[in-house]
Amino acid sequence: MMLRKKCRAAGVLAMMVVVSGTFAQKADREALQKIRKEGFENSQVETIAHRITDVSGSRLTNSPGFQRAAGWAVGQLTGWGLQNARLEEWGEFGNGWQFEKSYLAMTEPYYMPFIAVPKAWTGSTQGLISGEAVVVELNSDDDFGKYTGKLRDKIVLVKGEDFDAGPTFRPDAVRYTAEDLEKLTNSETFGGQRFTPEMLERYRQMRNFRAKVDSFLVAEGIRLELIRRNGRHGTLFTSNGALYLAGAQEAGPAFELSNEHAGLVERLYKGGTPVTLEAEVKTRFFRDHTKAANVIAEIPGSDRRLREEIVMLGAHLDSWHGATGATDNAAGCIVMLEAVRILQAAGLKPKRTVRIALWSGEEQGIHGSENYVKRNLGDAATMKLHPDHDKFSAYYNIDNGTGRIRGVYLQGNEAVRPIFKKWLEPFADIIDNPTLTSRPTGGTDHLSFDAVGLPGFQFIQDGVEYGSRTHHTNQDLYERLVMDDLKQMAVVVAAFVYNTAQMEEKIPRKELPKAGRR
């Protein structure tokens, strides 16, 4: 009798498990249908894009443009019903900065307006200036002596690398082919990491030498510095600017100049034709408040057992200043804001707490996310972990432009492959050749979480014009956004976040890294 009762009980339990699993599967399908309906039929991506780019403008950290965008985001998140929407300070950043007037033209041997952008965190000219242009080569410490005492009152073009400005014979906008994605899946070297340790070290050396060049030119009494930048067809790639730290010596006025116009000046100068330029740049520093903040807000978890656990999604809100930072990285912010809006508007109640973050200071070294992680989750330098480290499930990031999602970089976390594979299956109609690659990708905010052993993921995105036309350029404007791609991304991200919030267990983790990793 006891054996029969046990068999009946086991049978009932098995049926309950099957019924429970079937119900959960049904519920997930219903949630996904709601997400898709809201995301594709009631999308707000164009409105969000307009507010972050057109209305807010460029968004250097601690600049008025950043504050406009961040303030709007806090208000909008509150309006959508998220809780604790706030600007959360993470620590010392440095001075805010913006330019308020910009003009550069050649007046001799003939008049021609130039495409140029004031270099970030540089000073102003004394009104409209005019002067002889000279070209100098400053590539090492040994070069400074050649120009000592010879540059006063000159407009100086610092000759750099000879960037190719000729025709490309290939499209600016590209999408991954099936062959590309196959290579991405199977090759550790395809595309490469955005930043390797060797690249970072070269970058640090270059930045330090550029600071020495700036200081030398200021000491020599030049009127204006010009810096040749990569790009073609009127596109100008801006770069890291002068020192922005509080108390840093103010750099003299400087323009980053289009590849073609710099080439024109260099050829005229080399050929013996005198070149006269006129210019005016007015810049403004904001030194009263040098601490920076991230935008944070939550959808509180609905499950008493799981609501203390966190699922995060985020993107960096700061941008460079040559345009309005549409694809880098308003696009990521648009997607993440739309994703939480979808979850709210669809009436879904995630079991875990969902937290959105719009980061600051990413362009200067992922400072906003790194300091958030250090304060709340753990210190990568020491691997001293905070209690919330154990309550964290996963972080999802968008920061590769406007291109639609094609899969996920797993960051070497093979345990999540079967989970993500299942989550991608319902999107076969909007994701061609969905791809999961174990190899890591770098250069953005998911690394702050990965550095302390937490699951942090960047989605694989079509490149579109990111490398050729928009990343850090004067053309990174609203028109470069592909709205249908943003809608697709927001739906996929909302589904991944919701699925993560509903899991019985947290997302699997890799082995805890050693201290000192960044």
Note whether 219 and 199 are same-domain residues: yes
Give a yes or no: residue 209 inside a domain: yes
Pair (319, 280) in one structural domain: no
Domain edge (last residue) among 222, 254, 286: 286
112-156 tens-digit pLDDT: 999 999 999 999 999 999 999 999 999 899 999 999 999 999 999
Residue 365's CATH number: 3.40.630.10
Considering the domain architecture, whether residues 137 and 223 belong to the same structural domain is answered as yes
Helix 2-41 vs helix 483-502: crossing angle, to nearest 10: 160
Domain that holds residue 148: 96-286
Asked if the structure places residue 492 within a domain, the reply is yes
pLDDT at position 188: 53
Selection from 25, 84, 118, 459 nearest residue 296 by Cα: 84
- Whether residue 344 is contained in a domain is answered as yes
Tell me: do 295 and 256 sit in the same domain: no
* Strand, helix or coil for residue 334: helix
For 458, residues 6+ apart whose C-beta sits below 8 A from its C-beta are 397, 398, 399, 400, 408, 409, 441, 444, 446
How many structural domains are present in the chain?
A: 2
- Type of residue at 304: R
CATH number of the domain within which 243 lies: 3.50.30.30
The pTM of the whole model exceeds 0.85: yes
Same domain, 185 and 157: yes
Tell me if 417 sits within 8 A of 436, measured CB to CB: yes
430 in a structural domain: yes
Residue 367 has pLDDT above 80, yes or no: yes
Whether residues 143 and 81 fall in one domain: no
Please tell me whether residues 222 and 279 are part of one structural domain: yes
48 shares its domain with 164:
no
* Arithmetic mean of pLDDT, 53-63: 98
Q: What distance in Å separates the CA atoms of residue 345 and residue 353, rounded to the nearest whole number?
A: 16
Q: Torsion angle of alpha carbons 129, 133, 139, 144, nearest 10°?
A: -80
Residue 12 pLDDT > 80, yes or no?
Answer: no
Phi, psi angle pair for 38, to nearest 5°: -65, -40
Domain edge (last residue) among 286, 311, 333 = 286
Examine the domain organization and report whether 269 and 405 are in the same domain: no
Mean pLDDT of the chain: 92
Indicate whether 296 and 263 sit together in one domain: no
- In tens, the pLDDT along 370-395 reads 999 999 999 999 999 999 999 999 99
- 82 and 191 inside one domain: no
| Same domain? 481 vs 393 | yes
| CA nearest neighbour of 224 among 153, 288, 287, 163 | 153
